[in-house]
A and B are shown apart, each in its own frame.
Chain A
Amino acid sequence: MADAPLIASLLELIRRTSSELPADVQAKVASGAAVEEAGSNAAYAFQVVQDNITLACQKSSPLCQDTGSILVYVHTPVGYDQIAFHEAFVEAVKQATAKGFLRQNSVDSITGANSGNNVGPGTPDLHFHQWRKDHVEVVLMLKGGGCENVGATYTLPNPKLGGRDLAGVENAILDCVLQAQGQGCGPGILGVGIGGDRVSGMACAKTQFLRRLDDTNADPVLSDLEQRVVTKANQSGIGPMGFGGKTTLLGCKVGKLNRVPASFFVAISYMCWAFRRQGVDLRVDGSITRWIY
């Protein structure tokens, strides 16, 4: 096969993303575990989570059986063949499914038929951008359905949550945390997109997950909001897995887009603790030069 080196690199990206939690996420999990009371249900949940992180890495097996939506963000040099890349990625997904790195997760929405190889309308989901660099960057996220189900888009003003201002945004985010309880496999990480339309706002929310958890938002207003949300959510008592405890969120990342005057959306994507996201830089021949996270 012409793209065999590229397919091999992409298969390795899928394997590592599915089985190894990135270092920035592991650091947040460790800080959360450290503040829970010994002997509590929350401490137990963290212990199982940490044992699982170690085991999955050792066994090179999926951290979570729900290997989720396969979301791929690709930057390519001008003139690079994106169609060939797409085909190579689909082939890597088929191989990863056969090897058990990915669960059979592509289901016809009306008939319920499972394609058996993760390939179907909309799956995997690739997003291409060109850039003026001479290498390819691929970031992969595997986002489970449990956490995806508890995301939400709020429209402001909202009679219970407030108006079109920072307070309204903050209240909407906290309401989302409350509604999610333990259903999204917390402690969670939130990606929030303020503004845009219903598609671009949620896309903005999801791309916040590409940021490292230890970064600082360049916008001081959004940076304050991120910290305030985490502090308040962690006072809710929901705790890991909704067991009660001090760690409800591991992080919150907020972006904003311009909106039309008539609309004000707050799109919130909830990510579970099993935040599987990894990336590689590739030479145009398909070989890996760097792991990103």
Chain B
Amino acid sequence: MALIQLTTPLTDEVARSLHLGDTVEITGRLYTGRDAVHHRIHKGEKPPVDLRGGIIYHCGPVMVQESGRWVCCAAGPTTSSREEPYQWEVMRDHGIRGVIGKGGMGPKTLAGCKEYGCVYLHAIGGAAQVYAERITRVDGVDWMDLGSPEAIWHLWVERFPAIVTMDAHGRSLHKDLLETSTKAIQALQA
């Protein structure tokens, strides 16, 4: 399968050109954002960065400061389903075009992807070094009062790999697999 190169910021057209199963590599800006960030935005606080056309990475990295500079020691994806109540709203209000995480998301997010032109990009959970290698710079951090794993880190990435598992056309690998595996397990139960 062809590897699609994406450069941030993404347009509506680019987001909608992607389909379930596409493999992509991203070059450009990622902002980390997980539970606490989404909750704070949901409560009405304005994000400290411009998210329009941007990609949010569900990730709580390991960061250490060395001679005044942030170094990323590990940065794999965290479970995305915790952002299910809020993600569609961030698409609508702040114009994000991509979400990177793991484990997939639910119907609200899938509907949001279709309506606002966004895709869910799956990274491999636990593979913190593979992804840390693709982070070439840490350019800043906001909302550090939430604690380091929950803060908004400004990452610059080169050829960051991911698979489209939810697209802007209403298709979700996670929805499909839940259906088929439920039938399979029911047939296997004693």
Which of B36, B79, B103, B130 is close to A52, meaning CB atoms less than 8 Å apart? Answer: B130
- Contact in complex: A65, B190 (CB < 8 Å): no
> What is the distance, in angstroms, from B160's C-beta to the closest C-beta of chain A?
12
- Contact in complex: A114, B102 (CB < 8 Å): no
Residues in A with CB closer than 8 Å to B173 are 242-244
Give bound CA distance, A99 to B163, whole Å: 32
Q: A254 in the interface, Cβ–Cβ < 8 Å?
A: no
Residues in B with CB closer than 8 Å to A174 are 185, 188-189
Q: A182 in the interface, Cβ–Cβ < 8 Å?
A: yes
- Contact in complex: A237, B177 (CB < 8 Å): yes
Give bound CA distance, A238 to B103, whole Å: 11
Q: B49 in the interface, Cβ–Cβ < 8 Å?
A: no
Q: A92 in the interface, Cβ–Cβ < 8 Å?
A: no
Q: B147 in the interface, Cβ–Cβ < 8 Å?
A: yes
- Contact in complex: B190, A103 (CB < 8 Å): no
Given contacts A56-B129, A64-B74, A182-B174, contact A241 B102 (CB under 8 A): yes
Binary per-residue interface labels of chain B (128-149) against chain A in the complex, 1 for a CB within 8 Å, 0 otherwise: 1110110000000000001111
- Contact in complex: B126, A44 (CB < 8 Å): no
Interface residues of B in 173-189 (CB under 8 A from A): 173-174, 177-178, 180-182, 184-185, 188-189
Residues in A with CB closer than 8 Å to B95 are none
Task: Look across to chain A and name the residue whose beta carbon is closest to the beta carbon of B144.
Answer: A114
- Contact in complex: B62, A67 (CB < 8 Å): yes
Q: A185 in the interface, Cβ–Cβ < 8 Å?
A: yes
Binary per-residue interface labels of chain A (239-265) against chain B in the complex, 1 for a CB within 8 Å, 0 otherwise: 101111000000000000000000000
- Grouping DSSP codes into helix (H, G, I), strand (E, B) and loop, the B interface class, with mixed when no group exceeds half, is mixed
Q: A59 in the interface, Cβ–Cβ < 8 Å?
A: yes
- Contact in complex: A65, B61 (CB < 8 Å): yes
Task: Look across to chain A and name the residue whose beta carbon is closest to the beta carbon of B127.
Answer: A52
Task: Look across to chain A and name the residue whose beta carbon is closest to the beta carbon of B62.
Answer: A103
Give bound CA distance, A96 to B147, whole Å: 17
Q: B78 in the interface, Cβ–Cβ < 8 Å?
A: yes
Given contacts A100-B73, A170-B189, contact A185 B148 (CB under 8 A): no
Residues in B with CB closer than 8 Å to A181 are 103-104, 174, 177-178, 181
Q: Which of A78-86, A105-113, A122-130, A215-223 binds B?
A: A105-113
- Contact in complex: A52, B181 (CB < 8 Å): no
Give bound CA distance, A92 to B181, whole Å: 43
- Which 5 pairs show the lowest CB-CB distances between chains A and B? A114-B147, A185-B125, A274-B126, A65-B74, A167-B190
Q: A65-B61, A181-B178, A237-B177 are in contact. List 14 more A-B contacts (CB 8 A).
A: A41-B163, A45-B124, A61-B129, A62-B128, A66-B60, A99-B64, A103-B148, A162-B190, A177-B185, A181-B174, A182-B177, A183-B102, A185-B125, A236-B185
A-B contact pairs, 29 of them (CB 8 A): A41-B163, A45-B124, A49-B124, A52-B128, A61-B128, A61-B129, A62-B128, A65-B73, A67-B62, A100-B62, A100-B63, A100-B74, A104-B147, A112-B146, A112-B147, A113-B147, A116-B148, A167-B190, A171-B189, A181-B177, A182-B104, A183-B79, A232-B188, A236-B184, A236-B185, A237-B180, A241-B102, A243-B122, A272-B125
